[in-house]
Structure 1
Amino acid sequence: MSRKKILYVEDDTTLAFLTADNLEQYYDVMHFANGAEAFEAFKTEEFDLCILDVMLPLMDGFELATAIRERNVAVPIIFLSAKTLKEDRIKGLKLGADDYLVKPYSMEELILKIEVFLQRSQKQPAVKKTTCDVGTFVFDPANYALMKNGETITLTERESALLKLFLDNKNNILKRETILTALWGTDDYFMGRSMDVFISRLRKIFKEDENIRIENIPRIGFKLVIKE
């Protein structure tokens, strides 16, 4: 079985060496010390997952993630950063990242998360390429897209998976732990914060349709309500 290919971007020489050395036991790793060179490589190479530092020269991690998402909405992105503010974590997730680990991180945790995202990506082709109506929107889960009036809103893979989970349980309460386990594989506080970010974005998208709402059920979870 061929090894998965990872784009790793980190400008700290020592940290980059140690992390890449560990990852290369399991994956093919292409390392770059700045965002601009990494993006040039992304445009010509096929990667299974991207690991990005935030504070990078020439093109920072947030800019790089935005550029990557414009070309590929599905490839998993993990941020590794010394920036610990909640606002930075939320910004990274809003840009389409799948996870945000704060330095110093453990290699065991990083590899575990890589495996979770790679396994999820491998399963993605099995998604049926069908669309469904969501109020006045049309949802295309295979292409991570919501369409309305000729306009297309591109979702991240995680947002698309979250919406599909809601639709599979339309008008029924979904517990927070059920959503977290289904999408992240763990019921974790920081993953819960990530989930809240994605739900907030879906709410903003659907606010144009008064017949769709994602209700917050205090201390339990959420419910997608669609009036027919």
Structure 2
Amino acid sequence: MDKKIKLLLAEDEPSLGQIIQESLETRNFEVHHAHDGEEALRFYNEINPDVLVLDVMMPKKDGFTLAKEIRLENKQIPIIFLTAKSQTKDVLDGFNHGGNDYLKKPFSMEELIVRVQSLLDRNLLKVNQEKITIGNYILNYPKQVLTFKTDSELLTHRENELLFHLSQKKNEVLDRAFILKKLWGNDDFFNARSMDVFISKLRKKLQKDNNVQIVNIRGYGYKLIC
């Protein structure tokens, strides 16, 4: 059986949200429906979705603000905005806030499904081709392989994910609580100690390049310097 695609839907209109959710669930999507922007951000951190469908006008936090916050730590996830607005400026605002596509209400479920699938296919192609430079190292994220010159080693899943997130925030602080919740499920004491062990492992794997460091920013998180 094919793995279900995790989709986070943020739509404050209950009837429309239910229609979208039911339509997508018949197409092998696992839909998590948030009714406002704050709930959507909480769901995002909890479920690690594959794609986001965000209404622009929502209570507590609008779709543009939500997307902008998510883009600070995730440049890859596909985002589609839903809106009743139709002015060119509104469409441009959507793209400027990190959206990949923009669907004007009313729309057909078929059109939404086609656009979601198109973005997922495009994103998969991009990720599969992605090799990340970390100083003199190359991280092949899809294959979980770290290479230094002619030497390569296979990373564990958690090493790979942790190094990937550090690399996405090169020379910036990766928030400790965020990455604990993302990879370990919560930020309790025992998981924090476990993450420290993985950080130590990554430091050893990166020690061949003296210009690459993972430093501890006390009280905040970690920074990959390269």
Same-fold call, TM cutoff 0.5: yes
Q: CA deviation at 1:116?
A: 0.6
In the superposition, relative to structure 1, how do residues 128 and 101 fare at CA in structure 2: closer, same or farther (>3 Å)?
Answer: closer
Number of residue pairs matched? 137
Name 1:159's counterpart in structure 2: none
Q: Report percent identity of matched pairs.
A: 38
How far apart in 2 are the matches of 1:22 and 1:125?
27
Q: Does 1:30 align with 2:38?
A: no
Q: CA deviation at 1:120?
A: 1.6
Name 1:6's counterpart in structure 2: 7
Q: CA deviation at 1:34?
A: 0.1
- State the one-letter code of the partner of 1:23: L
Name 2:16's counterpart in structure 1: 15
Q: CA deviation at 1:151?
A: 8.2
Counting only pairs closer than 5 Å after superposition, residues 26-105 of structure 1 correspond to structure 2 as 26=27, 27-105=29-107
Which runs of 5 or more residues in structure 1 are unaligned? 132-141, 144-149, 153-228
Could you say what secondary structure the match of 1:101 adopts? strand
Could you say what secondary structure the match of 2:7 adopts? strand
Question: Could you list the per-position Cα deviations for residues 139-198 of structure 1 after superposition, in whole angstroms to 9, with x for gaps in the alignment?
Answer: xxx99xxxxxx989xxxxxxxxxxxxxxxxxxxxxxxxxxxxxxxxxxxxxxxxxxxxxx
Could you say what secondary structure the match of 2:131 adopts? coil
Question: Could you list the per-position Cα deviations for residues 109-151 of structure 1 after superposition, in whole angstroms to 9, with x for gaps in the alignment?
Answer: 11001111111222223214266xxxxxxxxxx99xxxxxx98
How far apart in 2 are the matches of 1:52 and 1:42?
12
How far apart in 2 are the matches of 1:81 and 1:125?
28
Counting only pairs closer than 5 Å after superposition, residues 100-179 of structure 1 correspond to structure 2 as 100-129=102-131
In the superposition, relative to structure 1, how do residues 151 and 87 fare at CA in structure 2: closer, same or farther (>3 Å)?
Answer: farther
How far apart in 1 are the matches of 2:84 and 2:21?
18
Q: Is the 8 A contact 2:34 2:43 kept in 1?
A: no
- State the one-letter code of the partner of 1:85: Q
Q: CA deviation at 1:100?
A: 0.5
Q: CA deviation at 1:14?
A: 1.0
What TM-score, normalized to structure 2?
Answer: 0.57
In the superposition, relative to structure 1, how do residues 34 and 123 fare at CA in structure 2: closer, same or farther (>3 Å)?
Answer: same
Could you say what secondary structure the match of 2:72 adopts? helix
What TM-score, normalized to structure 1?
Answer: 0.56
How far apart in 2 are the matches of 1:62 and 1:96?
8
How far apart in 1 are the matches of 2:126 and 2:36?
30
How far apart in 2 are the matches of 1:12 and 1:34?
10
- State the one-letter code of the partner of 1:21: E
How far apart in 2 are the matches of 1:43 and 1:83?
28
How far apart in 1 are the matches of 2:47 and 2:75?
16
Which runs of 5 or more residues in structure 2 are unaligned? 134-140, 142-163, 165-169, 173-226
